[in-house]
Structure 1
Amino acid sequence: MLLNSDSSKPIYVQISEWLEAEILRGHFATDQKVYSQYQLADKFNINPATAGKGLTLLVDENILYKKRGLGMFVAEDAREKIMSKRKNQTLKRLIFDLVIEANHLGVEEEELMQMIKETKRKGEVQ
C-alpha cells in the first residue's frame, strides 16, 4: 500500500486504516504483535511520530492494546470493532452520497435498489 500525501486524509489516519485492513484480511490475529512505529515509519518512509499517532488512534479505539516494553497487539474483538466502525461510518457516508447523487439524477428508489442488487451480485461472483 502506498500512502497518499495529496489526500485530505492525514497520513496517521491512513496508517490506522491500513492496519485495520490488515487485521480484517487476517494478516494479524488476536493477541498478535503488530508493527512498531519505527517499522511502520521505515515501511512507509514517514516520521516515526506520525506512525505512532496512527497506532495510538487504534489504541484509543480499543482495536490495539499496549504491552509495556513489548509493543502493540491486536485486541480480542478488533475485527468486530473495525467492521462495526466501517459499517456505521464508511458505508453510511457512501450511502448518503449515493442517495444524494441519485436524487440529483432523478433516479427513483426502486431503480437505485435494483442497481445496488445487480452490483452486489456481480461482486459476489468475483
Structure 2
Amino acid sequence: MTFDENKPIFLQVKEQIEDQIVNDQLKEHEQIPSTTQLVQLYKINHLTISKGINLLVENGIIYKKRGVGMFVAENAKDQLLKERKETFLDQYMRPMLEEAEKLGISREELISMMKGSEEL
C-alpha cells in the first residue's frame, strides 16, 4: 500500500480496514490481522497501527478479545455504510446542489446529467 502524504498514516490504516469490511473482505465476528501482522504488511511503526486500530475500537467497528485478537463487530458494515453515506451527502451532494442552484440548474437537469455521465 502506498500512503497519501497529505493524510495521517494511522487514518489511512483505519480506512483500509474499513474498506475491507465494506467490501466484505472482512465479515462480522471475523478476526482481523493482528497488529504485528499489520506492521509487517505495511512496514510502519507499531504505534501508528495501534492508533488506527484504537479508533476502530472506539467507534465500535472492531472489538478486542483479550489474548485472542481483534474481530469485526456486529453491524460494523451497516454502521460504516451509514457514516459514509452521510459523509458523501455532506462533502459532495450538498455542495453540488448549492452550485447547481447558483447556476440555475434544475434537479431534473441534474438527474439527466448524472444519467448521461454513466457513459463516461
Output the CA distance in 2 between the equivalents of 1:37 and 1:100.
43
1:17 paired residue number: 15
The Cα offsets for residues 15-49 of structure 1, whole Å up to 9 and x where unpaired, read as 11110110111111111110122221221121111
Q: Which amino acid aligns with 1:108?
A: I
Residue in structure 2 matching 1:108, options 105, 109, 120: 105
Question: How much identity, in percent, do the aligned residues show?
Answer: 36
Query: Do 1:3 and 1:44's aligned partners in 2 also have CA atoms closer than 8 Å?
Result: no
Query: CA 1:42/1:98 → structure 2, altered by over 3 Å: closer, same or farther?
Result: farther
Normalised by the size of structure 1, how large is the TM-score? 0.81
1:48 paired residue number: 46
Runs of at least 4 residues off by over 6 Å: none
1:82 paired residue number: 80
Shift of 1:65: 0.3
* Greater relative contact order structure (CA < 8 Å, 6+ sep): 2
Shift of 1:115: 1.7
1:32 paired residue number: 30
The Cα offsets for residues 28-77 of structure 1, whole Å up to 9 and x where unpaired, read as 11111101222212211211111111111111111100101111100011
Q: Which amino acid aligns with 2:32?
A: V
1:62 counterpart SS class = coil
Shift of 1:91: 3.6
Shift of 1:107: 5.5
Output the CA distance in 2 between the equivalents of 1:52 and 1:23.
18
Query: Do 1:33 and 1:71's aligned partners in 2 also have CA atoms closer than 8 Å?
Result: yes
1:72 counterpart SS class = strand
Normalised by the size of structure 2, how large is the TM-score? 0.84
Residue in structure 1 matching 2:59, options 42, 58, 61: 61
The 5-angstrom pairing of residues 89-104 of structure 1 reads 89-102=87-100
The Cα RMSD (Å) is 2.0
